[in-house]
Each structure stands twice: as structure tokens, then as C-alpha cells.
Chain A
Amino acid sequence: MTTRTWALAATVAIAALATGTTGAQAQDCTIPLGAVFPLTGSNGPIGEPIAETGRWAVEQMNEAGGVQGCEVEYLLRDTQGQSAVGVDAARNLVDVQGVPALLGAISSGVSLPILTSVTAPSEVVQVSCCSSSPSFTELAESGESGGFFFRTLPTSRAQGVVLGNIASQNYDEVSVIYINTDYGVNLAQEFQEAYEAWGGTILESVAYNQEQASYRPEVNSALAAEPDALVLIAFPVDGSTILREWISFGGPQEFVLSNALRSDDVLEAVGAQFLDGALGVDNAQVSGPSVEAFNADYQAAFDADPNRPGIHINYDAAAVTLLAMAAAPEATGPAIRDHIRVVTNPEGEEVYPGVDGFSRALELIEAGEPIRYVGASGPISFDENGDVAGPVLIWTVTNGALAEDRVITVDEVNALFDELAQ
């Protein structure tokens, strides 16, 4: 290599160092909070408002008095939707900027490598709004994530458990037919665990592949064991075919159905009179004063409709992290990790989003009182794997139409989880 090229390489390296030092020199009292989101690329349109919501939460916290009297600095990086770029950005935030906690990313394909190669080994808290992969739960169970990962997106477990609960209250022996995708396999597994724990017996469990003209073999093997009812985890088109075949083969007209089947198309395709009395579950629309307050605030601050994907759950991801930073004795990853559940303590006084809510929360933290953050997506409580549950709706088919039966709130869902754990 010629001297000239070495000089060039050295210049690049020095320039890279020089740009970094300005950020790390802040001697006044600031605590950095990192964020990695896709701002450009195919997820950019979703990522931008989500990233903005995180910044907004930080601004509100600073207005409310900041964390331990210090201003929180929101350090945002673009992943460009590329995992290598996201990992590099996270590594830079953790090593150079010294962030004790990190928000993001959106796709599991970016959040997971950040967890395995940056946040878990460096003991930094990572809170993702939107990554849905079951692999995070698996990593938490095996201890590889060190408890540093949290997410505010409700997992499918709540639905599986409620499904198992209502099935066990109505039927002793069932057969299950489920779709052979992540969605179906997970939900069927969670259902089975819950249903058997509450004393039910699964006679036959059959997976089916999507988009076939007929499902006779699957229906026949599920029917052969003579169950009391059919538990069907499916999407509308395939589900309608299976239900029709089940009924035409003389199966009992007793059904427990998954969320995707809550559709008028299914009633029409099968014939609503055959489905009368069927039970099902779905995600419940989250409501309550904290949600309405957030929506109004958001509308005022951004002049935009808050019904965009990920807004509520990322606001809560940021808020929970900030409150945990305030409650923790020091701004380090392990301390923040240990205080995330402290600020979402079900026994604590409820605090809401917004400047007023954060001010009240800071007062209570100062006074050493327990608090419970009830956020933009309602009450939040993390299980031992850092996952949250959402409220679940139970629906029925009555008089030829879909009807809402009742809502199982988050607290009730968590009570069911506790019951299962014993």
C-alpha cells in the first residue's frame, strides 16, 4: 500500500473518531437513552412515527423533571431495515455513547441479532415495541437473554390460555385442528397446555396445510375419536371448508374457534344456523382513561390520527424504560432491568401517560411509594420472560350473528397465568 492510501485510511479513521467525541463529551447531567428504528427502507413509513413517539415520551419526561434530576437524551439511529446496520448502530450506542437502555427495533430479524450480540452480552436493557417472534421468549427461558429483553406487544399466549380456559369449562374431550404456520403451531401448543392443565383431554390434534380444496383426511381423523367438540385454529377460507366438512360428516355442532374465524364470511360460508352457540376468542380493543388521554394528547401534539401501527406500544416501551430509569438507583442496565417490574407493580398507585402522569410518577418514586404505569395500551405487566399479555374478547354466535360475550381484562388474564403456573 502506498503512503498516500495509508494517509487516506488514517484520515477516515480520525474523522470517524472526531465525530464521536462531540457526543460523548457532555459533562452536564444527561442520561442517554438509545433507540434503533428503521427510518428509511421498506419499513421506514412505519418506523418514523414510532421513533417520533419515543422522542415525544422522552420530551415529556424531561418536562416532568427528568430522570434523577438529569435530562434524558434521546439518541436515535436508523437501521435502514438491515440487521448488520442495526447491530452496528446498537453497538455504537452501547459502547461509545454508553446508553444503559435501548428501544427497538421493529422487525424481529433486526431486534434478535441486537439482543444476542449487543444488549445481552453488554448487559443493556432492550425494550422492543413491535417484535413478535416467539424466539425472544425461548431465549428468555433458556437464560440466554439474561432478562434484559422486554416487549410491549401482547403475545398470542393470552389467547391460547383463554381459549383453553373456556374450552375446559364447556367440554371434557375435544379434537384440535390447527393451521401449520407459526401462528397455528404456537396457539395450538398454548391451548393444549392450558386445556390439559384445567383437566381437559385432547383426543386428536391435527395440523393442516393452507389452501387445499378439501380437508377430509384431517376432519376424519379428528372426528374418529368421537370428541365432544372441535377446537379450530384457522383462517376464514380454510376454516369454512373444515367446518362444512365436519358438519357434513356428522360431527357434533360444538365449536371453539380462534380469533381469525371471527368473521361474517365464515358465518355466510358455513351457514350461521349450524354454528349457533360456537365460542371464540379475539384481541380485545384496549380502552380506558389512560388510552383516551394518550389519544387526545397525541392528536394535539402531532395533528395526526393515533391509530397507526406501533404508536401506543412504543410510547409505553419508552415510558416504562424511563420510569424504570427514574426508579433505579443508578443508570446501569442491570439496575434498570430490575426496576421495570417495580414501576408496573399491580399493587402500586396508577399513573398515566403525559407530563402530568410522569410528574406524579416521579413524586411517588421520590417518596418511595409503589407505582403502576397504566399506559397508552392500557395496564402493562411483564411476565418472567419480559412478555406482556393483552385483554382477550370472548365472542359467540347467537341467533345467526356474531356477538361479544365478555372481555377478559389484562388482570384476569394474568390471574389465569398464575393459576396455570401453580
Chain B
Amino acid sequence: MMGYVSYLSFFLTLALIYGIATMGLNMQWGFTGLFNAGVVGFFAIGGYAYAIVIGPDRPDLVGGFELPFVIGLLGALAFSALAALIVGLATMRLRSHYLAISTFGIALTIQLVALNFESLTAGNLGLIGLGRPLEDAFDTPLGFNLFYLGLMVVATLVVYGALQLILHSPWGRVLRAIREDEEAAISLGKNVSRFRLEAFVIGCSLMGLAGAFYVGSIGYISPFDFLPIVTFQIWTMLILGGSGNNRGAILGAIVVWGVWTSSGWLISTVLPPAWQVRGAASQVILIGLILVLTLLYRPRGLIGERVTVSSGAKLNDR
């Protein structure tokens, strides 16, 4: 039984980490309409920034400052925000698919930099000995898993609360106005590119924060952790959970990561050993099938955006 608790706490930890990144993407796509196809790039920058700040000093590498966990998180936030600012200044004039193509390219570039900037990232060897926060304080992996899950629950609630606060402020309403009709927002005198840039930077720094939490829970980082498929997974989480709703983003992360992992569990339990090697392909089919069916029956996601524009406006039933 303790095994289940240990596994489920580990599972939920990863799911909530993805949930934070999904909320970041929700800020960009769900509220502002920015098509960021380079999620994993900012996830990677956060992860590496964290690893370099907290990692052990190694003579052959730049970095390794051995600073505390919290400073590592702040470093991840700062560096991913800075990267997003640079990328944003260059790309924010691009619309939809142009932005998608350029951010996708940027994410690939970031992964290649991680692979080749060996004096900083140790290249394909990855950075080892990162140590997980307070790991020594726990006798069993179960204790650590529960502690880290608690940390992730707190982090998720803080991020969720902060996002709800700013998205329901006048600032957040402008974002939705831009998403619905950019020209209309401009005609109201809003500086659209500034708002888009702000939303982009905040969203990317959340992805960076998620990257730091990921590395914190694993204790190792390599360019291998940041394949383009991670971007696809996080997009799936947002669309399936409900774009434009942060609770949907969190639920989507849990459900999609659950489908992704439990399908492997299912296959290895159901199929006889002789079939398991072939069965792996059916896992991928199963994942695709569940995602397609969910979207067919709940096209707006599990929890879609609530149709309220402002409290004073009268709504036609949609």
C-alpha cells in the first residue's frame, strides 16, 4: 500500500510540475492568443539556470554555485524571464503561425546550445550530483516524495492564486480583449505589443519555474530532458484541460500525464510477456485515442473558459 502512496505522490509531483508550465502556456495562449510552440525551450532554461545555481562546483565547468534551493528557483525565474524578454522583443510583432514557427525554432536552438555549450552544461553528459532539496532529512524515498509533493501543491496554489488575481484585474481583461480582437483593443488606446510582451514573459518564466522544479525532483539534467515532444505534451494538457481556465490547465496536466503513464502500466499488466514488446506501439495508439475522444466529446476541454466578460454586461446564451 505504501508503494502506491509513494508512486502516486511521485506521479502527482510530475503532473503538478507540468501543471505550472501549462498555466504559463494558458497565460499566453488561453488569455492572450500567443501561439508559443517553444515551451520546452523555456522549461530547459529554467532547469539549467536552477542546476547551475545550486549545483556542486566542478573545476571543468563554469557555474556550480552551491546556493540554496530557493535561490535556484529565483534564478530559474529570472533567467527564463530574461530569455523570454529577448525572444519576445524580437518576435512579438509576429502573429499566430509565424510566432509558432519562430518559437519552435528557438526551442530547438536552446536544446542545441545545451548540447554543445559544454563548459556550462556539460553537453550530452548532463550535470550530475545536483542533490534534491532536503533529501538527507528523509530516511525513505516515500518521505521525500511526500515532502516534494507538498511543496508542489503549495507552489501550484501560489501560482494559481497569483494568476487569478492578475488575470481578473483590468490588466487581464486587456489580454482577453487582445485575444478576441486586436484592432479593437488598439482602437481603445491599448499598447498591444507591450501587453503581449508582458504576458509572454510571465508565461515563459512560469515554464522556467516548472523546469527548475523538474530538475529539483530528479536531481539530474541533460539536453535529453528537453525534446520537442514535451512542448506537444504541455499543449495537449492545456487544450484537453480547457484553454482559458487555469483550473482546466491543472486538471489537464494531471489527466494527460495520467493517461500517458498509466497506459504503459495497463499494457504491461494486461499483455502476456511475449507480447509486451509489440504492445508498446499500442500504448501510443491508446494515448492518441483517448485524447481524440476527449476532444470529440468535450471540444472546449474538460473545464472550458467561463463565459463571463464583465459583471455588468448582458450575455446571450451561447
Same complex: yes
A88 adjacent to B277 (CB under 8 Å): no
Minimum Cβ distance to chain B for residue A280 (Å): 26
B70 within 8 A of A: no
Tell which of B123, B130, B268 has the most Cβ of chain A within 10 Å: B268
B303 adjacent to A77 (CB under 8 Å): no
B280 within 8 A of A: yes
Distance of A107 Cα from B276 Cα, bound (Å): 20
- For chain B residues 213-230, which have a beta carbon within 8 Å of chain A? 214, 217-220, 222-225, 227, 229-230
Tell which of B128, B132, B284 has the most Cβ of chain A within 10 Å: B128
B308 within 8 A of A: no
B126 adjacent to A135 (CB under 8 Å): yes
* Interface mask (B267-291 → A, CB under 8 Å = 1, otherwise 0): 0111001101100110110000000
Contact of B284 among A16, A40, A139 (CB under 8 A): A40
Contacts of A113 in B (CB 8 A): 218-220, 222, 225
Minimum Cβ distance to chain B for residue A404 (Å): 33
B251 within 8 A of A: yes
Number of A-B contacts (CB under 8 A): 161
B3 adjacent to A112 (CB under 8 Å): no
Minimum Cβ distance to chain B for residue A320 (Å): 20
B125 within 8 A of A: yes
Interface size on A, residues (CB 8 A): 63
Asked whether A109 and B222 contact (CB < 8 A) given A19-B269, A22-B269, A55-B277, the answer is yes
- Which of B4-12, B73-81, B169-177 lies at the interface with chain A? B4-12
A109 adjacent to B124 (CB under 8 Å): yes
Looking at chain B's contact residues, the main secondary structure is helix
A84 adjacent to B225 (CB under 8 Å): yes
Contacts of B264 in A (CB 8 A): 77-78, 85, 89, 92
Asked whether A74 and B273 contact (CB < 8 A) given A12-B255, A110-B224, the answer is yes
A39 within 8 A of B: yes
> Which residues of A are at the interface with B, using a C-beta cutoff of 8 A?
1-2, 5, 8-9, 12-13, 15-17, 19-20, 22-24, 39-40, 44, 48, 51-52, 55, 58-59, 73-78, 80-85, 87-89, 91-92, 95-96, 98, 107-110, 112-113, 116-118, 121-122, 133-135, 138-139, 142, 144, 182
> Which residues of B are at the interface with A, using a C-beta cutoff of 8 A?
3-4, 6-7, 10-11, 14, 123-126, 128-130, 132, 135, 141, 144, 214, 217-220, 222-225, 227, 229-230, 247, 251, 254-255, 258-262, 264-266, 268-270, 273-274, 276-277, 280-281, 283-284, 302-303
